[in-house]
Amino acid sequence: MKQLQISYLIGYVTVQVKGMMPERFFQACVDQQLAIWNIEKTGQHTCIGSLRKKDIRTIKEMAQQTEYSLKIVEEKGLPYIFKNILKQNHLLIGLFIAIISLFLLSNIVWRVEISGFPKELEQKIMKTLKGYGVYPGALMFRVDSPSKIQQQLLHDLPELLWVGIEKKGTSFQLEGVEKIIVEKEKQISPQHLIAAKDGVIQKIFVSKGVSHVATYDYVKKGDLLVSGNLLDDADIDENEKKKDRLVAATGEVIAKTWYEVDVTIPLKGNDEQLTGKQTRKFYLNIFHVDIPIWNFSQVDYALEKKETVEHPLYFLNWRLPFTLVENVHSEKELLSWKRTKKTALDIGIEQAYQELRLLLGPKAKILSNKVLHEAIEHDKVILTLYVTVEENIAKPQPIIKKSEKD
C-alpha cells in the first residue's frame, strides 16, 4: 500500500496489452526490473497492468520489439494532475492574475500609523506626508526611503523634536516626540552691553540698564554701551551707592556701520538650463541587468541630465531580488551669455547686499553703497564696495564680580 502512495506521487499509468499470452509480456517487463502491479486479465488476449510513469518509454520500446500492442488506458498521480491544470488556460490565467494582484497589493501603502503625538499634530503630519506621497493607497515604489522622509519631515515641521519612521511590510509606522516650545525665562546673569563693532549710534532702546552713550556718538568695538550696574547713574545718593544693584542690561543700540565688500562678476559665461522636456523610463533590474519595461522610445536630447531612482519591490514581506529602476532623462541646453559692464555692476552690488544680509541677519538695514574700486580682468569685473548699514551692535558681556568693583 505504501508503494502505491509513492507511485501516486510520482505518477503511474495503466496500460492495456494486446496479443497472444499478454501475461508473458508483463513477465518480460518484470525481468527487465520494472515494477508492475494490479495485473488483470480482461479478455482472451488482453491484459491490463499498472506501472510507473518513468517506465513508459522502456515498455513502449519493448512493445515495438515484440508483436504486442500497447495502449495507455488511464493516467494517475500528481504529475498528471499538474499537467491537467496546466492544460486549463483559464485556471492558469487566474493564478497569474492572483500573483500579479498579490504583488501589486504588497507594493501599496496600506496604513500610515502615527503615535506619540496629539491629534492636532497628527493631522498635520498626515497632511505633510500626503504631500510627500505617503498615504494609504500610494504605490510603494513612488515613496522615498524612510530615512529621507524622516529628514524631510523634520525639516518641514519644526514642531517635531524627533521622528522615527519604520516601514513594516505594507504599513508605515511613525513614532516621534513633539517639541514643546517652552518660553524659558532665561535667568540672565548681570551683564553689560558693549559694542560689537565700530559705528555711529543712531537710536538707543534700553529696557534695562543705564545707557552710557548718546545718539550720534562714535563708538569703537568693545566700548560700553549700556551698563548693568544701576548705581552707575550719577543721580543716586551716596548712601545707596554702597549696595550693589546689578541687572542684566538689555536693549538695542542701532548704529551705522560700514563694510568693505569685494565681489567678482564674470562678464560672460556658460550656463546649463533644463528645458523642461522630460522622458521617464522604467527598467526592471535583475542581477544588475536592466530590462526596459516601460517607455521604449529613444531619448534623443543633445544634452541631457540623467537621474536614476531605484525602488525595491516587495512580494508580501519579502524583498524581491529585482528592483524597479526609474530613469528620468531631462533635456538641458547650454546658454552662453554676455553682460555689459553696467549690468555687471548692478549684479555685483546686489550680490554684495545679499552677502551682507546673509552675514548680518534680517534685522540689518542697508543704507547706501559706494564703489571704491573697479577693475576688469580676464572678463571679470572686480568691485570693491563700501556699504553703510544700520544694525544692532549691542553685544552682552557678563559682569564679573571683580571688574565691577573697580
- Count of other CB atoms within 10 angstroms of residue 148: 12
Q: Using DSSP, state whether 127 is helix, strand or coil.
A: helix
Any contact of residue 5 with another protein (CB under 8 A)? no
- 349 to 256, 258, 371, 372, 389: CA distances (angstroms): 19, 15, 9, 12, 14
- State yes or no: residue 33 binds another protein (CB under 8 A): yes
Q: Is 30 in the site for another protein (CB under 8 A)?
A: yes
Count of residues engaged in binding another protein, rule: CB under 8 A? 18
Give the cell for residue 101: 494582484
Least distance (Å) between residue 27 CB and another protein: 5
Q: Which is nearer to another protein, 47 or 225 (CB)?
A: 47
CB of 43 to another protein, least distance (A): 10
CB 356 within 8 A of CB 363: no
Interface segment toward another protein; rule CB under 8 A; list 40-48, 200-208, 238-246, 384-392:
40-48
CA–CA separation, 80 vs 70, rounded Å?
19
Q: Is 215 helix (H, G, I), strand (E, B) or coil?
A: coil
| Residue closer to another protein, measured from CB, 36 or 200 | 36
C-alpha span between 184 and 172 (Å, rounded): 35
Least CB distance from residue 110 to another protein, whole Å?
A: 56
Is residue 74 a contact point for another protein (CB under 8 A)? no
Among 9, 20, 40, 372, binds another protein (CB under 8 A): 40
Cell of 274: 533644463
Task: Give the range of 39-47, 69-77, 228-236, 279-287 binding another protein by CB under 8 A.
Answer: 39-47
Plot region of 77 (φ>0 → left; ψ -120 to 50 → alpha; else → beta): left
Does 21 bind another protein (CB under 8 A)? Our answer is yes
Contact window for another protein (CB under 8 A) among 25-33, 183-191, 219-227, 377-385: 25-33
Paired sense of beta strands 171-178 and 160-168, if any: antiparallel
Distance CA 170, CA 257 (A): 59
Contact segment (CB under 8 A) with another protein among 33-41, 109-117, 165-173, 394-402 equals 33-41
Region 208-267 residues binding another protein, contact defined as CB under 8 A: none
303 forms part of the interface with another protein (CB under 8 A): no
Q: Does 66 bind another protein (CB under 8 A)?
A: no
Q: Which of 2, 31, 57, 302 binds another protein (CB under 8 A)?
A: 31
Q: Nearer to another protein by C-beta: 23 or 333? A: 23
At 147, which amino acid appears? S
For another protein, the binding residue among 24, 167, 197, 380 (CB under 8 A) is 24
DSSP category for residue 140: G
Tally of CB atoms within 10 A around 197: 17
Q: Residue 402 corresponds to which cell in the numbers above? A: 571683580
Among 10, 20, 35, 95, binds another protein (CB under 8 A): 35
- The minimum distance between CB 11 and another protein, in angstroms, equals 18
Using the rule CB under 8 A, is 18 a contact of another protein?
no
- How would you list the strands of the sheet with 304-315, edge to edge? 289-294, 268-286, 318-338, 304-315
Longest dimension (CA), the chain: 146
- List the grid coordinates of 299: 531619448
H-run or E-run covering 273: strand 268-286
| Chosen residue from 13, 15, 17, 47 binding another protein by CB under 8 A | 47
Kindly list the residues in this chain that would bind another protein in the complex (CB under 8 A).
3, 21, 23-24, 26-27, 30-31, 33, 35-41, 47, 49
